[in-house]
Structure 1
Amino acid sequence: MIGIGGSGMSGVARILLDHGVAVSGSDARDSSDLRALADRGAIVRVGHHADALEALGAPPEIVVVSKAAIPADNPELIAARTAGIPVVTRSQVLGHLARAGRSIMVCGTHGKTSTTSMLIAGMLAAGSDPSFAVGGTVLQFGTNARGGNDPVFVAEADESDGSLVHYEPDVVILTNAEPDHLDHFGTAEAYYEVFDTFLARIPATGALVVCLDDDGAAERARRAAAAGVRVLGYRTSDGPATDLPVAGEIDGIVVDSAGTRARLTLDGAPRGELHVGTPGEHMALNALAALLAAREVGAAGGIDLARFTTDGFLEGLSGFGGVGRRFEPRGEAIVRGGRARVYDDYAHHPTEVAAVLGAAREIVRADGGRLVAVFQPHLYSRTRIFAEEFGRALSLADRVVVIDVYGAREQPEPGIDGGTVAQHVTVPVQHVADLDAALSAVRELLEPHDVVFTLGAGDITTLGPRIVAAEGL
């Protein structure tokens, strides 16, 4: 596995190891994921060299690559092709693993990791032991993937590079759909087309579980239904009117620091309370989607119904411990004789930022402090396209610090930086160059009872612990 330390690749490696497959791999740099894989039996190397293909004592049967990440001149990739060893992508391996039993795949522009993680937590509590692969660490399990004993496979299906079309799932959750990754797709229409192609692959024995509160997802569902796919909609009770079937609803939503509670209706009948230990109305909707998908797999025989119960699943949701970098508590900072709570979130799209800060507002209201957002834009193209939307979303906070762009795979664009976003923020805002400057800015503005959120998909995740550890705040 070339690039075995990446979040997606390491997850596949863990599942293969759990199923007794001999795995070797390499990555450009050392990491905790790389060391954890070595502890589980993988033979791993730091650096890319052609002789890595002999790490198992003989050439591998296949070489796995992450389609988006591995350059064509990688020496291991060249050696594999020269030797005639089949080269496959991570998504192709996931698709193969999913076809071994019943599969649930979670897709959407936002909420994939949280929804997939809730699905796993609920299924385990309800008596099932699925294999799973998630895009982040499920905190209560301490891993992003595992090979289970039941013939059920649960996975997050990423649309960012179009690899959705490689999957043939039994049940799909679609959380939402709005334009993103336009650096790859070019147009919103091309982005939506990947979802439409993917959903049309759901078999007659399967189902699409879809959020009807989201216009983009509802339109994808109508197209899927026209292609013969069975649709199970979910929504809030005061959501828009719909012509699609509704399998589940929530209302009476209460958000606080302990999570989110809502009254639950299934198949038109009251079903008690849904509780998930992560704040946000969107988290309650994600939890409802997970429940409907799990029930669907159970009804089709993938889960032993003598073991699987809705009550057990709901209990698992109530104990859900969250996902790394999704509304993740990082600790408390001592601030002028008081304390400020610090959280970290992966939000890197305007809708995600708005959802996180909207949920955070409920926590702030209870403490009487201010909501401070520290945002690092991710990708120059996304910053340019969504600058105004980012500004509106960040304005849900009371104070904002915007760091310059984390370019990742992109080269800088002239005139695009953190200020491109900051100019659209309507509350007090500072534009700073880097993480060190952001730490200094936070030191100056924090007061007791404030709640701080570090937001973004780049290295801003390292800032929260520095805020907590900083002396002299």
Structure 2
Amino acid sequence: MTEIRGPVHIVGIGGMHMSAIALLLHERGEEVQGSDLEASDLTRNLEAMGVTVFPEHAAENLGEAQCVVATAAVGEDNPEVAAARRRGLPVLGRPEVVAGLMEGKRVIAVAGSHGKTTTSSLIAFILSRAGRQPMYLLGGESRDLGGNASWGGGDICVVEADEYQRAFHAYDPNVAVITNVDADHLDLYGTPEAYEEAFLTFARRLREGGRLLAGGGNDGSRRVAEAVAGDLMVETYGLGDDCTWQATDVALNETGATFTVKRRGEALGELTIALPGEYAVENTLAAAAVCLGEGTPFAAIRDAAACFQGAKRRFERLGEAGGVLVIDEYAHHPSEVRAVLGAARTRFPGRRLIGIHQPHTYSRIAYLWEAWLDCWEGLDELVILETYAARETPLEGRSAADLARNIARPAASYAPDFAAAVAQAAALAQPGDVVMTIGAGSVTEVGPMLLEALS
């Protein structure tokens, strides 16, 4: 790939992955600048490090840039991309830049429809606590590591391998994790089969002598594992007796979970975690299996897992007001919602649960329509906020209002904006209740607004 030398201009520098690239380049010693239409904690953190962030996209922002990195959210008509083309500057995408930054490292790549941010964050945290000084690039902000990326000082890299636009096909890992494969991004892939095939291609990019760890309790990831088992070193993990790595004696409780880690039937020790839900057990088991394979002592894994808080926006406690607890949760797929609500019921037994869900893109409502109607078990009340459109235009018959009208249990109400969602939730909430904001978009702004209203 093109050698990346500064000054580097990053279009969409405020995005989770793009801000991570900016941070890594900055820590590597490159001069970095960028632009983004929305200020955020990510852009403010970069500015505090000395990175210039322009609040608009304009050709003159390029300045003396020698290379441009552009988010997938902009096209060739973006004024900065167009200006770079006219000047003959290389315009690179996220996947090839990340692949270039990882060159020379031993790469651990974590993929999957769900759980990849938490799993990759925990792997990076365990390795950091064990003194390995990993480079890492995550799809969320780690509460334990203090951010979403670090250049590190060691020879190992942990990367969240995102399937969006087949980004993970640019990576050639030594260790690959596939947590699960549940049809998603069908606006891009077209069919569930094509989506699953992308994970199969990712698995086959393992370097010679590499290791694939696949979630054994998920049909999709198990099919991928079985398809490559004759060609690669494949191990499975999960709660089933047929998994290479098994979590046994699982006890879920109000403070998290405890379980025993077994490898091929041999008990290695017990882990205690503060994260809720069976899916948290599976993510922790995957991280433990990876790190044990990298030579990390079990005691170091046990200590790190016990104090691991997870990523921001993953079952994150925002605060309490008027006796009502508010939690922010990133879940934006029916499978994720179902798992998170099950965890919430274990964490908060006997308390009423109120959900405020913001659908993430019209197409995801449409291609997962039936699943969206039947994933809310555990909620007592539900508010459906207007869709976070991202890059899309509305689809007739598959709007947030349509979704609210068609969900039978619990009866759902529709909120056209944040103010309406806050008003509805505040009217429903009683002391002792738990309110969860659910979604990958801007719904994260509703929680603080609700806390203010309740206080």
Alignment TM class, shorter chain as reference: over 0.9
What's the offset of the Cα at 1:77? 1.1
Relative distance call for 1:261 and 1:377 in structure 2 (3 A) is: same
Q: Secondary structure at the match of 2:251?
A: strand
- The Cα offsets for residues 384-426 of structure 1, whole Å up to 9 and x where unpaired, read as 2223212211133122122222211111122222233231332
Match of 1:24 in 2: 33
- Tell me which of 49, 62, 65 is aligned to 1:59: 65
What's the offset of the Cα at 1:286? 0.5
Match of 2:6 in 1: none
Q: Secondary structure at the match of 1:162?
A: helix
- Tell me which of 196, 200, 208 is aligned to 1:196: 200
Q: Secondary structure at the match of 1:260?
A: strand
Residue 418 (str. 1) matches residue 373 (str. 2)? no
Match of 1:320 in 2: 308
| Whole-angstrom distance in 2 between the partners of 1:29 and 1:18 | 23
Q: Secondary structure at the match of 2:205?
A: coil
What's the offset of the Cα at 1:168? 0.8
Residue 7 (str. 1) matches residue 16 (str. 2)? yes
What's the offset of the Cα at 1:70? 1.6
Match of 2:356 in 1: 374
Pairing of 1:166-181 with structure 2 (within 5 A):
166-181=170-185
Q: TM-score, normalised on structure 2? A: 0.94
What's the offset of the Cα at 1:64? 1.1
Q: Secondary structure at the match of 2:348?
A: helix
- Tell me which of 134, 137, 141 is aligned to 1:133: 137
Amino acid at match of 1:280: G
Contact 1:203–1:229 under 8 Å retained in 2: no
Residue 220 (str. 1) matches residue 224 (str. 2)? yes
Match of 2:100 in 1: 96
- Tell me which of 232, 235, 239 is aligned to 1:236: 239
What's the offset of the Cα at 1:323? 0.8
Match of 1:343 in 2: 327
Amino acid at match of 1:5: G
What's the offset of the Cα at 1:208? 0.4
| Whole-angstrom distance in 2 between the partners of 1:52 and 1:379 | 30
Amino acid at match of 2:269: G
Match of 1:383 in 2: 365
Q: Secondary structure at the match of 2:402?
A: helix
| Whole-angstrom distance in 2 between the partners of 1:106 and 1:219 | 17
Contact 1:170–1:202 under 8 Å retained in 2: yes
| Whole-angstrom distance in 1 between the partners of 2:223 and 2:37 | 41
Q: Secondary structure at the match of 2:275?
A: coil
Match of 2:58 in 1: 49
Relative to structure 2, which stretch is displaced further, 402-411 or 429-438? 429-438
Contact 1:372–1:452 under 8 Å retained in 2: yes
What's the offset of the Cα at 1:126? 2.0
| Whole-angstrom distance in 2 between the partners of 1:260 and 1:421 | 34
Match of 1:257 in 2: 254
Q: Secondary structure at the match of 2:118?
A: helix
Unaligned runs of 5+ in 1: 299-307
Contact 1:171–1:297 under 8 Å retained in 2: no
Contact 2:426–2:454 under 8 Å retained in 1: no
| Whole-angstrom distance in 1 between the partners of 2:28 and 2:264 | 38
Contact 1:97–1:153 under 8 Å retained in 2: no
Contact 1:281–1:359 under 8 Å retained in 2: yes
Percent identity between the aligned chains? 37
Match of 2:378 in 1: 396
Match of 2:419 in 1: 436
Contact 1:126–1:310 under 8 Å retained in 2: no
Q: Secondary structure at the match of 1:154?
A: strand
Pairing of 1:253-292 with structure 2 (within 5 A):
253-292=250-289
Amino acid at match of 2:217: D
- The Cα offsets for residues 242-270 of structure 1, whole Å up to 9 and x where unpaired, read as 5xxx4311122222332222122124211
After TM superposition, what 4+ stretches of structure 1 lie above 3 angstroms from structure 2?
none
What's the offset of the Cα at 1:232? 1.4
Match of 1:456 in 2: 439
Equivalent pairs counted in the alignment come to: 445
Q: Secondary structure at the match of 1:348?
A: coil
| Whole-angstrom distance in 2 between the partners of 1:424 and 1:116 | 34
- Tell me which of 159, 163, 174 is aligned to 1:159: 163
Note the aligned Cα RMSD (angstroms): 1.6
| Whole-angstrom distance in 2 between the partners of 1:101 and 1:351 | 34
Q: Secondary structure at the match of 2:396?
A: coil
Match of 2:4 in 1: none
| Whole-angstrom distance in 1 between the partners of 2:25 and 2:254 | 38
Q: Secondary structure at the match of 1:431?
A: strand
Match of 1:332 in 2: 320
